[in-house]
Amino acid sequence: MVKVHYTAQVHPRARLHRDVEVGPYSIVEEGVEIGEGTVIKAHSIVEKGTTVGGGCLIGPHAVLGGAPQDVGYKGQPSFLKIGDRNIIREYVSIHRSSKEGESTVLGDDNYVMAYSHVGHDCLIGNGVVITSYVGISGHVVIEDLAVIGGQVGFHQFVRVGTLAMVGGNSAFNKDIPPYTMASGRPGRVYGLNVVGLRRRGMPPEVRKALSRAFRLFYRSGLNVSQALERILEEVEPYREVVHFVEFIKASQRGVCGWSMREKSENE
């Protein structure tokens, strides 16, 4: 049974599935779809063009599907698609796409903490943790299982790779390769996310291969193309190693450089 507080405003053409709850003074606009069991707390706004999956928690004063902060946006219809089991805390804002008919996307099982912002046309994967006060500019891609520390800023079009660990109070204008740790202003990579790899059950042989690939790319003195060629020639082609290489190959902005902070654990 849907539960809508008497002070909330839900448009008659919004679609609320079973067991959805809408808290006091919240607004759900026309055409919005809310999945089964999702709870929307007080004073939140879910704007037109937004789809929210099942089992989500939307904290107080969140704004989902707001118009993109793009001077070229002229009101063309666009979308925000949010998957299942996401926790989106208080005062979070996530904007819909700036392009007609396209979507900003937040996958499944993500945790977006208070006061964070996800800009237009971003693609956020699954199992991502975005800590408080993170600012994610438009067109940013964050792959699965990345962890973003508090007060981090991302330039437009930056990509963050799978299982990357990003330190707080950092700023990034280049891509962060998968399975690495990065921080600083400007952001730099300082090692493999060894703890994250272990916690995710990555086999020792895969961790060893990633460590070898990391050293060849960041510590060999080779240029990018030479280092990637050496990795493909010398390192066992586990799926994670191939992803590391392909991510770097696909970079348009370039990847973060290496920092001397790298720990001996990753040597």
Task: Please give the positions annotated as active site.
Answer: 120-121, 138
Q: What are phi and psi of 216, to 5 degrees?
A: -65, -40
* β-bridge partners, 72: none
Cβ atoms of 160 and 141 closer than 8 Å? yes
Distance CA 76, CA 97 (A): 10
Torsion of CA 52, 158, 117, 191, to 10 degrees: 100
Report yes or no: 27 and 11 within 8 Å, Cβ to Cβ: no
Contacts of 208 (CB under 8 A, 6+ apart): none
Q: Cα 120 to the chain's mean position, in Å?
A: 12
CB 169 within 8 A of CB 152: yes
Alpha-carbon distances of 232 from 93, 179, 192, rounded to whole Å: 41, 17, 18
Q: What amino acid occupies position 179?
A: Y
Degrees, nearest 5: CA angle 98-248-137: 25
SS3 (DSSP) at 58: strand
Give the residue carrying structure tokens 């960041």. 218
